Amino acid sequence: MEPNCRMAIVGGGLAGLAAANALKTFGIAAEVFEAAPALGEIGAAVNASPQAVKALRAIGLGEKVAAVGHLSPGIYTCNMQTGEFLEFNDRHKAAARFGAPYYTFHRADLLDALAGGLDHSTIHLGHRLTGIEERTDRVVLAFDNGARVEAEHVIAADGVRSVIRQALYGSDNPTYTGQMVWRSLLNGSDVPEEVMGPMGHMQWAGPGCHFIAYYIRQKKQVNIVTQEDTDKWVEEGWSTRGDPDEMRLSFPNPEPRLKQLLSLVTTCSKWGLFTRPLTRNWGRGRIQLVGDAAHAMLPNAGQGACQAFEDAYILGRWLDACRDPVKAFANFRRVRIPRVHGVQRLSLANARFKHMRDAAAQRQSVSSGQGSFHGSSDWVWGYDPVSEWDKEPAVPTAYAA
């Protein structure tokens, strides 16, 4: 590797590798610098809704992601204590309507698919960023292994605790939401099919909490992710080891299927959910932030990775359209920020609805069509990043600034 490059991507996770594939699609050379000694993603599963799948297809990854994705038929939602059916979100109909499927993945499989589209000589592992220096004609990146790289332009995909974002804007002072997450991964063969309901993608909702379980890896594994209102855990992270018995106690008096599923958990992780201000601080000059580095969001709309994939395609398209990358970055921010802020607000609203403590009011809201456990997602899934890359997308009034 030369110590100088045209485009440096800091971060080799989903956002960074998607951006690298997008740039490759448009004939733009880029080098990826990843802190870890090997490519890997912490966490069990990730979702890609139709508009995100369109973006992945457009950067040449359609066949690769289809090979490792599990087609989600939809989410079957029940009351956590009684098992009463509450709502079904039909994703097969959504796929037909929006022209692309909804996939669930094991993160490692999806990351491998993204890496498979790249020349591995352009991915530099063991490069943990420690500092940046903005100069008139380039950006200097300093890494903890002693390497220094001078890049004409930089794409920051270094995650929710982005070193680059902090260097540009200082601490963003994340705020604890009063909610925490549990996550576990089970062998699919250990889980009776009836526990997973008629669709293999279950959600249980209760006062102040919800619980989701769904198949990944062609039903070889079941991913569990939960969320609850609490004040007992406030540390932000992805891999803190949890106590399965403590996890079970978080969901008192569960209906039989959920109780059986909880009984199978032998290992789990936990972390607190934090929000960050919705800002326009997505980069400046020769530096552009993407993915969680720019717009970390709560998981309640399943859009964290999806918005990173939209970022990747649209950024690549703007870089292809503009001779000046600085101008391309500015146009990218102009069209992306309003939409992503709307999605972030949707994620906040979904959590409030799922955790309603008045179950009767919640049921009435769903049956009348005034509320949903999935929020108003049509405007999110119906967006086409390929045909609308240069337009400011419409955002429903409820989620607009």
- Let me know if residue 87 belongs to a domain: no
**Residue whose pair of structure tokens reads 């198949």 in the numeric block:** 215
Separation CA 248–CA 228 (nearest Å)? 12
Q: Tokens for 133, please give them.
A: 């220096």
Q: Residues 101-112: pLDDT tens digits?
A: 999 999 999 999
Answer yes or no: do 167 and 198 share one domain: no
Task: Please state the domain count of the chain.
Answer: 2
Give the pLDDT band of residue 237 (cuts 50, 70, 90): low
- Let me know if residue 97 belongs to a domain: no
Answer yes or no: do 354 and 209 share one domain: no
Q: Residues 372-382: pLDDT tens digits?
A: 776 678 999 99
More confident residue, 394 or 58: 58
Give the pLDDT band of residue 296 (cuts 50, 70, 90): very high
> Which residues form the domain of 226?
175-275
Answer yes or no: do 245 and 394 share one domain: no
Give the pLDDT band of residue 33 (cuts 50, 70, 90): very high
User: Which of these ranges, 39-53, 111-125, 181-195, has the smallest mean pLDDT?
Assistant: 39-53
- What CATH number has the domain bearing residue 54? 3.50.50.60
Answer yes or no: do 270 and 333 share one domain: no
What pLDDT does residue 66 have? 96
**Residue whose pair of structure tokens reads 């509450």 in the numeric block:** 86
What pLDDT does residue 163 have? 96
Q: Provide the 3-class DSSP secondary structure of residue 134.
A: strand
Distances 49 to 74, 95, 165, 285, 359 between C-alpha atoms, Å: 11, 9, 27, 32, 28
- Let me know if residue 217 belongs to a domain: yes
Assess whether pLDDT exceeds 70 at residue 41.
Answer: no
In this prediction, what percent of the chain has a pLDDT beyond 70?
95
Give the residue from 260, 275, 290 where a domain finishes.
275
- Let me know if residue 43 belongs to a domain: yes
Give the pLDDT band of residue 352 (cuts 50, 70, 90): confident
- Let me know if residue 78 belongs to a domain: no
Give the residue from 228, 252, 275 where a domain finishes.
275
Asked if 208 contacts 354 with a C-beta cutoff of 8 angstroms, the reply is no
More confident residue, 364 or 260: 260
Separation CA 16–CA 376 (nearest Å)? 28
Residues 6+ apart with CB under 8 A from 199: 73, 74, 75, 76, 88
pTM: 0.94
What pLDDT does residue 370 have? 65
Give the residue from 223, 254, 275 where a domain finishes.
275
Answer yes or no: do 325 and 358 share one domain: yes
- Let me know if residue 88 belongs to a domain: no
Assess whether pLDDT exceeds 70 at residue 2.
Answer: no
Bridge partners, residue 4, by sequence: 150
- What CATH number has the domain bearing residue 192? 3.30.9.30
Question: Mean pLDDT across the stretch 230-252?
Answer: 83
- Amino acid letter at 46? V
Answer yes or no: do 132 and 213 share one domain: no
What pLDDT does residue 43 have? 65
What pLDDT does residue 3 have? 62
What pLDDT does residue 371 have? 66
Answer yes or no: do 116 and 158 share one domain: yes
What pLDDT does residue 389 have? 97
Answer yes or no: do 282 and 151 share one domain: yes
What pLDDT does residue 232 have? 76
What pLDDT does residue 1 have? 44
Assess whether pLDDT exceeds 50 at residue 12.
Answer: yes
Bridge partners, residue 213, by sequence: 202, 224
- Let me know if residue 75 belongs to a domain: no
Asked if 244 contacts 227 with a C-beta cutoff of 8 angstroms, the reply is no
Question: Mean pLDDT across the stretch 304-314?
Answer: 97
Answer yes or no: do 43 and 179 share one domain: no
Separation CA 55–CA 307 (nearest Å)? 10
Question: Mean pLDDT across the stretch 40-57?
Answer: 88
Assess whether pLDDT exceeds 80 at residue 49.
Answer: yes
- Let me know if residue 98 belongs to a domain: no
User: Which of 2-6, 54-58, 345-349 has the highest mean predicted lDDT (pLDDT)?
Assistant: 54-58
Q: Residues 381-393: pLDDT tens digits?
A: 999 999 999 998 9
Answer yes or no: do 163 and 200 share one domain: no
Answer yes or no: do 166 and 48 share one domain: yes
Assess whether pLDDT exceeds 90 at residue 335.
Answer: yes
What pLDDT does residue 226 have? 93
Answer yes or no: do 270 and 329 share one domain: no
